[in-house]
Amino acid sequence: MSRTDTSVADRPTGVPSPAASRSGRGLTERLLAVRELSLLLALGALILVTTLYNDRFLGSQSIKDLLLGCAILVILAAGQTLVIVTRNVDLSVGSILGLVAFATGELFLAAPGTPWPVALVTGVVLGAVCGAVNGGLIAVAKVPALVITLGTLYAFRGVDYYWAAGQQINAADMPRSFLRLGNQTLFGVPVLFLVALVVVAVAGFYLRSYRSGRELYAIGSEPAAARLSGIPVGRRVFAVFVASGALAGLAGVLYAARFGTLDAAAGTGLELQVVAAAVVGGVAIFGGSGSVYGAALGAVLLTTIGSSLAVLRIDPFWQQAVVGALILAAIGLDRVLAIRTAARLRGRSAHVA
Amino acid sequence: MNSLFRLRLGATALTLTALLLGTAACGGTTRDNAGGSQASGAANPDAPIKEGLKIAFLPKQVNNPYFTTADNGGKEAVTEVKGEFKEVGPSEASASSQVSYINTLSQQGMDVIVTSANDPNAICGALNQAKAAGAKIVTFDSDTKPECRQVFVNQVTAQGIAENQVKLISEQIGGEGEIAILSATANATNQNAWIALMKEELKKPEYGKVKLVTVAYGNDDDQKSFQEMQGLLQAYPNLKGVISPTTVGVAAAARYLSGSQYKGKVKLTGLGTPNQMREYVKDGTVDAFALWNPADLGYLAAYAGAALASGQISGAEGDRFTAGRLGEFTVGKDGVVVLGPPTVFDKSNIDKFNF
């Protein structure tokens, strides 16, 4: 987590709007950094309170569990950020994950000797194909992504159900080397989490430093203006859906390695957690603003909430309500910050003029 | 658009159902009488099993491997009695999702509906209508209120499960220490009944040194069960064993233990299928766990349905019938038929089972 921490400080994040970026770039940067800082503070407070209640919460096994637990959500949240930044949303990621996870199991059943890198690549490609279906439908039908991916959420799950036909794939059906991937640590850090870190770093770097990455923010800020300024909006949107699908595919393979037991229901309902993680992480749901790092922190925060509620032995009937309240609180905080930013930016530009 | 279409289709189906049921009720006086006299009339144990019975299986959820195995057992039995087998069901195990399926099945004139209830009350109305339309109702795995069905085929008695699970964990932890339970959802009927009986069982003097510290709920979800298992081990440093009487929970807990520092130190038992637990029994994470054979459960439920529809039994206490390869069964109090004690799986026998 310390790696994420340091990267926050020296890195500018999303641009709220072209006008704002021109007039108050430094201020925006600082405020967005604060946004992620507030997430880190919330995370720190949560860990502190839980640790005060039970000091085993900061034990090495526990930290390993926390990192392992958030890895898959972090990967999905990174993919989702790319999509949301362009003022779209991908609700089909849970179903893609489920489909790819089951496909991975089937691959090992059909060809027991398959080396795990092959399975990994197959999963990513299958996920990308699903993403291309999303992107293609959106481009052809010109219907909001929310509707299309709501449809493919059911469609991909349906394919999964049809294929699985009630069959379950178990840990014993998959090679040990593959399952070990789900549990193994490198220098005490779970491999799954390292994969997630790489994904976040690459996606974050791309969004920040590549022209096409910056264009995604422009598209999300104002699609019409982006089109007029010569940005290939359709192609970029198609690409982010393929990327989101590919990352969901990667997450699916890792899901298989981690849980070992797969049926057609794997990952059901995960899409809402992913969107929640991105929103909690400061990615504006109407596009144009937010960072992969924030979304990743949001995912870490949500998973940690789940784990600490289990450690604090909160009554199960209350757990979901607590999670909901925390999400609302995070969004509320975010909104207050945004309003303040807007007010300050207005004040400043008025001053300059 | 997709969901709108489904909504409209659903509404049409509902209207149709209502219309059909309305006509059935209007012109159905004789039918009602027939149904009534059949229920009150004594069963004829010598009646032969009718051929061509239409027997439908409605599990809690399709695409759930447990129910797939159970339904395949049912199919085997239906084939043996030369009946017509059908399986329908919702993809989500929610309380009300089964109602529309029951309405459709009763319209299709099924002779027997074999179902596992997601909720003891929610499907009662629909089942009673199906009964009025002439179908026999058998529940298995998870019961409704007794007045809504003729026979409930219970996998084992709740008492049998409680005794078995407590005995297994006590043996594994050496008869002494703290244990916890990792259940499914906090309002699952069967889980709560088993847990209540486990608590009773633990009061026996031979378990005097075994202390149940808490019950956690993993909602039959991999990720949540994982987290709850982690939470248990952190919150209770002296924990020696965990009972997880649910197939999803026990597999997730085993997967967690197998990759943690607690492997082999904290014992785990529960109700799981041999296929999903094979890996963890072989790598030493789990010593022994238990389950009934779901295929046998479906098989017995189908035979009970066929016996009901053929008039061999009426669901009254003391009725007897023969269920193919499983032998003879007697209907107990409240129309309950018990499959038998759970099978314990360990290293020595796990490879003999494949489900």
DSSP-derived letter for residue A169 is B
Q: How far is B226 from chain A (nearest CA, A)?
A: 9
Q: Which of A261, A312, A313 sits opposite B222 (nearest CB)?
A: A261
Strands (E), chain B: 54-58, 84-87, 112-115, 136-140, 151-154, 177-183, 210-217, 239-244, 267-270, 288-291, 320-322, 328-330, 336-338, 343-346
Tokens standing for residue B207: 């378990």
Chain B residue with minimum CA distance to A306: B227
Chain A residue with minimum CA distance to B71: A166
Give strand pairing partners of B336: B152
Counting Cα atoms < 13 Å in the Cβ hemisphere of B18 gives 6
Q: How far is A316 from chain B (nearest CA, A)?
A: 7
The domain B42-155+295-339: what is its CATH number? 3.40.50.2300
CA distance A245 to A151: 15
pLDDT over 90 for what percent of chain A? 54
- Order of all β-strands in the sheet with B84-87: B84-87, B54-58, B112-115, B136-140, B151-154, B336-338
Chain B residue with minimum CA distance to A181: B259
pTM for the predicted model, two decimal places = 0.76
May I ask the CATH class of domain A2-347?
A: mainly alpha
For chain A, say whether B260 makes contact (Cβ under 8 Å): yes
Q: How far is A114 from chain B (nearest CA, A)?
A: 19
pLDDT in tens, chain B (355 residues): 344 444 444 444 444 444 444 444 443 333 333 333 344 446 788 888 888 899 999 998 887 778 888 999 999 999 999 999 999 988 877 777 889 999 999 999 999 999 998 888 888 889 999 999 999 999 998 888 888 899 999 988 889 999 999 999 999 999 999 999 999 988 888 899 999 999 999 999 999 999 999 999 998 888 889 889 999 999 999 999 999 999 999 999 999 999 889 999 999 999 998 999 999 999 999 999 999 888 899 999 999 999 999 889 988 888 989 999 888 998 998 899 999 889 899 999 999 887 8
Chain A residue with minimum CA distance to B259: A183
Tokens standing for residue A340: 């303040």
Strand, coil or helix: A333: helix
- Is B63 in contact with A260 (Cβ distance < 8 A)? no
- Is B235 in contact with A263 (Cβ distance < 8 A)? no
Q: Which of B214, B219, B276 sits opposite A261 (nearest CB)?
A: B276
Cβ atoms of B92 and B61 closer than 8 Å: yes
Between chain A and chain B, the number of residue pairs with CB atoms below 8 A apart is 110
For chain A, say whether B251 makes contact (Cβ under 8 Å): yes
**Candidates A65, A174, A274, partner chain B, best to mutate (most B CBs within 10 A):** A65
**Candidates A170, A181, A270, partner chain B, best to mutate (most B CBs within 10 A):** A170
Q: Please state the length of chain A.
A: 353
- Is B231 in contact with A311 (Cβ distance < 8 A)? yes
- Is B63 in contact with A264 (Cβ distance < 8 A)? yes
For chain B, say whether A309 makes contact (Cβ under 8 Å): yes
Q: How far is A44 from chain B (nearest CA, A)?
A: 18
Chain A residue with minimum CA distance to B228: A310
For chain B, say whether A318 makes contact (Cβ under 8 Å): no
Tokens standing for residue A252: 């699916």
Closest CA to A208 of A279, A293, A284: A293
May I ask the CATH class of domain B158-291?
A: alpha beta
For chain B, say whether A307 makes contact (Cβ under 8 Å): yes
**pLDDT digits over A142-162, tens only?**
899 999 999 999 999 999 999
Q: Are the folds of B42-155+295-339 and B158-291 the same? A: yes
Residues of A in contact with B273 (CB under 8 A): 168
Q: In sequence order, what DSSP letters do the residues of B23-79 get, joined into one string?
A: HHHHS-HHHHHHHHHHHHSPP-TTPPPPSS-EEEEE-S-TT-HHHHHHHHHHHHHHH
Give the mean model confidence (pLDDT) for residues A306-323.
Answer: 81
For chain A, say whether B237 makes contact (Cβ under 8 Å): yes
- Is A65 in contact with B68 (Cβ distance < 8 A)? no
Could you tell me the residue ranges of all domains in chain B?
A: 42-155+295-339, 158-291
- Helix, strand, coil: what percent of chain A each, to 5? 80, 0, 20
- Is B67 in contact with A166 (Cβ distance < 8 A)? yes
**pLDDT digits over A253-309, tens only?**
999 999 988 988 889 889 999 998 998 888 888 888 889 999 999 999 989 988 888
